[in-house]
Structure 1
Amino acid sequence: MRRLGLSLALLLPSALWAGGAGAQPVSGGPDSADPVQRGEYVFQASGCLGCHTKDDKPESRLAGGRALKTPFGTFHTPNITPDREHGIGGWSDADFIRAFREGKRPDGQSLFPAFPYVAYTKMTDRDLLDLKAYLFAQAPSPAPNRPHELSAPFGWRFLLPAWQFLYLEEGTVPDDPAKPPDWNRGRYLVDAMGHCGECHTPRGQLGGLDSGRYLAGNPEGVEGDKVPAIHGGPEHGLGDWSEGDITLLLELGMTPDGDFVGGSMGEVVRNSTSKLTKEDRAAIAAYLKSVPAPK
């Protein structure tokens, strides 16, 4: 149980350093009428801070440069501040939505799927535009982006359209009318904003998610971590956890056996899941408990 608790990452294991101590509530929430305040909530739920912040220096916030080691090589995350030269300050609303929806840069080149647009494509336009409003309200940084260090053929950008044809299903997913609202909200948080499957679903040889083993764990996660299953199955998943157990971990980082998560999951709890509303944490728990173990 300790191993599961220390490994469990309901979001991309984002965030070495990234962000200060304590879980201070964000100024807005999912129902805020202010785009920047609401965008802050989307920013927290989407796990943006840690991946795009390399250390705890104030000038590093969202300036990129964090190295993500994967079986395909090392990705260096980009600057997402509103700096016009090195960040995204020159992106239009359409550019921003296209990156998340289609995995394309403003110049039309495909983005590497270390940026989890396979999940983010499911986000609504409103959430994406509010996220952009929040990012553009942050301080710009002139930090230049570092090139990725990827082995062939995974570093060949011209092959990415073929990869996207195989693995990217563009567009939002409508609510299931047969399911209650909290289930649909939980699925959206898990599959779109939280992009949990990006870490907790195993990948094939080309790096695409194995949809037949959804949330079944990944023996070769980012930074070499073995990532556990988080479906509701009783043998290898969260079947022995109650919904309260899951929400307590998301809020406080405490596992059912009384231990507390550390490392990257501790950062995720502090910087992201603890800042969700209690209703959203409960929705995540309800949805995960409903996911059957894959055959």
Structure 2
Amino acid sequence: MLSASALAWARSLAWRALLPLCLAGPAAAADIDRGRYLVEALTACDNCHTPRGPDGYRLDKRFSGGSQTFNGETYSVRGPNISSDAATGIGSWSDERLAAAIIAGVGPEGRLAPAMPSEYYRILTARDLEAVIAFLRTAAPVEAARPAQRRDGEQKAEIFPGAEAPFEESALDDPLRRGFYVATLARCMECHSGETNGALDHKEKLGAGGKLFRTPAGTAVGANITQHPTAGVGAWSDAEIKAAIVAGVGRDGKPLKPTMANLSKAHFSKMTPRDLDALILWLRTIPPRPGP
């Protein structure tokens, strides 16, 4: 059960009134396919919730918990088991409880750590939220010990500007709005915006890059993807930007560093041409900024 404080907080959110009434009903094949696309091509849930081996994701243990530990001032967590296992995963969770975790960052024990990027998923349309849940329900149950989770004090996550509430389905007919939707679910600006005093600054440094990523392969820096002609991608062709997104290849033809290289190969390469075109259309609207 949700704690009283967490439940009260969750009930205060407007999204609850928008949860589709058919969440508890059987999912159509089309819904499951849509959910698979959202999870595999855009939100990249495996990146945090599936263990890795030498050749990539351990799909025999899919969604049983991630390998990476995420650390912040108030938390140290690993992606938990979101397979359909009833004892150690989400098999016993209601659709409403799972929706609360996805788009509000509320779990059975209260507010989740900011490593769970619910502030980017709040934008999900009612249909797409339903589809994601339907697909997760198809995941094979995998029993796995719960990883150690440390959360100290209040867990805060800033809402990404423009993603404060669910999109209406009709908004996706507008290519520019669709591009923003895709960029938000793929969390492009979580990696590519600059920081001020250690926090992402989407107001002054949207897309300006500079965020550090420490991986087993070394340290990488989030690239500038604004329309700056030299520091950013303003002079890049659409084809060059597409290659970076779906193939993990830079303008010079060389492979990009992790984590972009990993995400491109495992996830963004599955993006539909329509979504990819819309994403680039929206990226072209980011004002030029120097940096990092």
Question: TM-score if structure 2 supplies the norm length?
Answer: 0.75
Seq. identity, %: 26
Unaligned runs of 5+ in 2: 1-27
Superposed, 1:1-295 pairs within 5 Å as 34-44=30-40, 45-56=42-53, 57-70=58-71, 72=73, 74-107=76-109, 109-148=110-149, 155-156=151-152, 158-160=153-155, 163-164=156-157, 167=159, 170-173=164-167, 181-191=174-184, 193-205=185-197, 207=199, 209-221=201-213, 223=215, 225-261=220-256, 263-294=258-289
Alpha-carbon distance, 1:260 to partner: 2.7
Cα distance, 1:174–1:39 mapped onto 2, change above 3 Å: closer
CA contact (8 A) 1:199 1:222 kept: no
Q: Which has the higher contact order (CA 8 A, sep 6+)?
A: 1
- Kept in 2, the 8 Å contact 1:218–1:227? The answer is yes
Superposition deviation, residue 220 in structure 1 = 3.0
Check conservation: 1:97, 1:125, Cα contact below 8 A.
Answer: no
CA gap 1:176/1:293 in 2 versus in 1, 3 angstroms: farther
8 Å CA contact retained: 2:48, 2:79: yes
Out of 45-54 and 72-81, give the one that drifted further.
72-81
Q: Which amino acid aligns with 1:91?
A: W
2:81 and 2:88 in contact (8 A); partners too: yes
What are structure 1's unaligned runs of at least 5 residues? 1-31, 150-154
Give 2:69's aligned amino acid: L
Letter in 2 for 1:139: A
Contact conserved, 1:91 with 1:106, CA < 8 A, in 2?
A: no
How far is the alpha carbon of 1:239 from its aligned partner? 0.9
Q: Give the Å deviation of 1:292.
A: 0.8
Residue 14 of structure 1 corresponds to which residue in structure 2?
none
User: How many angstroms apart in 1 are the aligned matches of 2:231 and 2:63?
Assistant: 36
More strand by proportion, 1 or 2?
A: 2
SS at structure 2 position matched to 1:213: coil
Q: What one-letter code is carried by the residue in structure 2 that aligns with 1:49?
A: D
Letter of the 2:165 counterpart: G
- TM-score (normalised: structure 1): 0.75
Alpha carbons 2:207, 2:226 under 8 Å: kept: yes
Write the distance in 2 (CA, Å) between the matches of 1:268 and 1:146: 24
Return closer, same or farther for 1:173/1:58 CA change in 2, 3 Å cut-off: closer
